[in-house]
């Protein structure tokens, strides 16, 4: 398959110019002695990192990989991961970042979708990588095997031609059909995302990034690539470790400190336990609607930084509505969003006609930050970009002061601890059982994770228990996607609208009644 392109490219208006590869190369020349990566006790300078990246690029070229080919990565955050992404950037290859939290069956789909030429994995996931790949996919494990590949490789610049519209990353996003979709993100989009974060959040070129969120997530990929092309230090942390993150903050200035629901209280406790002050933080946080206001006020006060009341996605980056900032220590009572820089926004009705101020409509976006489309899914891509605007599937209301109130997800999903969970994925598995008549999964607010999935089930088999339901999901659904509550109801209690769709909002109201 050739690289997916779309009218989003035309909206950007760029046909030539800088890429992530050339920006990193130039940053390495300007900041050769600066620390590019901190990983545990290891420190890597920009000069040394650039040499390693060039060796990876030379190895990949030697294997016959060329512009547009895919390189899959299945690994926790580590320096080799970033080396491969940057090598892909220099060659015009596309790094397909695999979500190691998925089941083997889901990963098999993700690998099959992009058909990579090579699959890199860490030793932690080497066995899974071995089981996923076919005979046509070369496999390389980080450690001695990876180093043996690089030993004979050249440290010279590859010098390949890469266009800003070439794909750089494929990040996977859950689909309403239950199968992940691959969002193709270009060099143009990634550069624009970095610029918008600098403008809206006052991030300086010298600010670094703490990459604790997985590199397969835009919350880590976007700020990391923005910082590494400007000379900032990337502090790599293997997952959420509050003490390790605080230690990094005490050593290096940080641009966007990603904090997800479920992590706030641990960060607060780690900050209180640490006697040393943290360095500059341009902004911390996530979508504030999902976090208790008291935690927003306390964590931002302890960090001495603003809290970012953001709204974005894998497809859009930190934008389109992330310019709202709460001052340090502020206790919010409203969560109106502000339109991001480099973005145009329309709110439209079911007929894609723009709604009036004060009315609810689906948010549609034009921006150079937009992704280029879903990999190998042209029909879906054309539909989502209809009319020359990307349709986010999220409902908002524009107020008279220009702020944007988030209403609901038109494409109903559950955001739990920063991960997207689509009810359809859970429902399809449960509906396949002859013991289940009907099922509807809804979201429930949660003080720790922001939201959790709850399943309402109409039993065909009266003996079906909660344990039986969970057993139906064993081995078929990642643990973080599993419903945290099971509620058995009658078919009559599944209220539907005139088109036959279950009214999930009424089931959400039912949750409050159950709790009472």
CA 491 to chain centre: 37
Cis omega (within 30 of 0) for bond into 320: yes
Spatial strand order in the sheet of 324-326: 254-258, 281-285, 307-309, 324-326
Question: What are 140's strand-pairing partners?
Answer: 120
* Per-position pLDDT tens, the chain of length 516: 444 444 444 444 444 799 999 999 999 999 999 999 999 999 999 999 999 999 999 999 999 999 999 999 999 999 999 999 999 999 999 999 999 999 888 899 999 999 999 999 999 999 999 998 677 799 999 999 999 999 999 999 998 899 999 999 999 987 545 688 999 999 999 999 999 999 999 999 999 999 999 999 999 999 999 999 999 999 999 999 999 999 999 999 999 999 988 889 999 999 999 989 999 999 999 888 888 899 999 999 999 999 999 999 999 999 999 999 999 999 999 999 999 999 999 999 989 999 999 999 999 999 999 999 999 999 999 999 999 999 999 999 999 999 999 987 777 888 898 888 888 789 889 988 999 988 999 999 998 899 999 999 999 999 999 999 999 999 988 999 999 999 999 988 888 765 567 888 889 988 876 555
Cβ pair 120, 142 in contact under 8 A: yes
Q: What domains sit in the chain, N to C, each tagged with a CATH number? A: 20-27+35-162 (3.40.50.980), 344-409 (2.30.38.10), 414-515 (3.30.300.30)
Q: How do strand 70-74 and strand 94-97 relate by DSSP bridges?
A: parallel
Q: How far is CA 51 from CA 15, 54, 226, in A?
A: 28, 5, 20
For residue 161, give the 3-state DSSP assignment: coil
For 152-184, the pLDDT digits (tens) are 999 999 988 999 999 999 999 875 456 889 999
In sequence order, the 6+-apart residues with CB closer than 8 A to the CB of 440 are 423, 427, 455, 456, 494, 502, 504, 507
What is the per-residue pLDDT for 431?
A: 87
Query: pTM score, two decimals?
Result: 0.87
What is the per-residue pLDDT for 515?
A: 58
Question: 262-265 — which CB contacts under 8 Å span 24+ positions?
Answer: 262/416, 262/417, 262/418, 262/448, 262/449, 262/450, 263/417, 264/291, 264/292, 264/295, 264/296, 264/299, 265/295, 265/448
What is the per-residue pLDDT for 6?
A: 45
For 19-64, the pLDDT digits (tens) are 999 999 999 999 999 999 999 999 999 999 999 999 999 999 999 9
What is the per-residue pLDDT for 496?
A: 75
d(CA 287, CA 497): 30
Residue 36's closest CA among 19, 53, 61, 22? 53
CA 310 to chain centre: 13
What is the per-residue pLDDT for 468?
A: 96
Residue 176's closest CA among 374, 345, 434, 2? 374
Question: What are 420's strand-pairing partners?
Answer: 415
What is the per-residue pLDDT for 341?
A: 97
What is the per-residue pLDDT for 175?
A: 53
């Amino acid at each position: 398959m050739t690289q997916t392109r779309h009218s989003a490219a035309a909206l950007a208006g760029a046909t030539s110019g800088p890429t992530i590869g050339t920006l990193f190369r130039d940053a390495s020349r300007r900041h050769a002695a600066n620390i590019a990566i901190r990983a545990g006790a290891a420190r890597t300078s920009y000069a040394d990192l650039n040499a390693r990246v060039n060796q990876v690029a030379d190895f990949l070229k030697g294997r016959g990989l060329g512009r547009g080919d895919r390189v899959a990565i299945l690994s926790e955050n580590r320096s080799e991961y970033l080396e491969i992404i940057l090598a892909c950037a220099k060659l015009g290859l596309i790094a397909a970042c695999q979500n190691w939290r998925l089941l083997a069956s889901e990963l098999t789909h993700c690998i099959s979708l992009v058909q990579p030429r090579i699959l890199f994995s860490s030793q932690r996931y080497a066995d899974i990588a071995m089981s996923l790949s076919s005979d046509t996919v070369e496999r390389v494990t980080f450690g001695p095997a990876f180093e043996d590949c690089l030993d004979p490789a050249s440290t010279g610049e590859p010098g390949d031609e890469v266009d800003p519209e070439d794909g750089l990353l494929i990040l996977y996003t859950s689909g309403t059909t239950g199968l992940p979709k691959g969002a193709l993100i270009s060099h143009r989009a990634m550069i624009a995302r970095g610029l918008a974060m600098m403008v809206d959040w006052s991030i300086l070129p010298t600010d670094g990034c703490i990459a604790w969120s997985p590199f397969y997530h835009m919350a880590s990929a976007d700020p990391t690539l923005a910082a590494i092309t400007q000379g900032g230090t990337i502090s790599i942390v293997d997952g959420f470790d509050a003490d390790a993150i605080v230690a990094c903050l005490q050593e290096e200035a940080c641009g966007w400190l990603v904090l997800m629901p479920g992590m706030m209280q641990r960060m607060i406790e780690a900050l209180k336990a640490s006697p040393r002050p943290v360095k500059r933080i341009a902004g911390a946080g996530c979508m504030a609607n999902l976090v208790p206001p008291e935690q927003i006020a306390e964590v931002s006060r302890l960090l001495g930084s603003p809290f970012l009341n953001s709204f974005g996605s894998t497809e859009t980056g930190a934008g389109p509505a992330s310019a709202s900032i709460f001052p340090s220590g502020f206790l919010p009572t409203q969560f109106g969003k502000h339109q991001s820089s480099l973005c145009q926004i329309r709110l439209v009705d079911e007929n894609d006609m723009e709604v009036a101020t004060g009315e609810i409509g689906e948010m549609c976006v034009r921006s150079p930050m937009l992704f280029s489309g879903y990999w190998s899914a042209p029909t879906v891509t054309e539909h989502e970009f209809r009319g020359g605007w990307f349709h986010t599937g999220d409902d908002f209301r524009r107020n008279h002061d220009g702020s944007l109130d988030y209403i609901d997800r038109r494409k109903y999903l559950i955001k739990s601890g920063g991960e997207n969970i689509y009810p359809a994925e859970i429902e399809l598995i449960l509906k396949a059982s002859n013991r289940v008549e009907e099922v509807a999964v809804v979201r429930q607010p949660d003080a720790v994770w922001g939201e959790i999935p709850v399943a309402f089930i109409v039993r065909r088999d009266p003996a079906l228990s909660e344990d039986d339901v969970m057993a139906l999901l064993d081995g078929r659904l990642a643990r973080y996607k599993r419903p945290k509550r099971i509620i058995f109801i009658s078919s009559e209690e599944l209220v539907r609208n005139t088109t036959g769709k279950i009214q999930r909002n009424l089931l959400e109201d039912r949750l409050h009644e159950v709790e009472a």
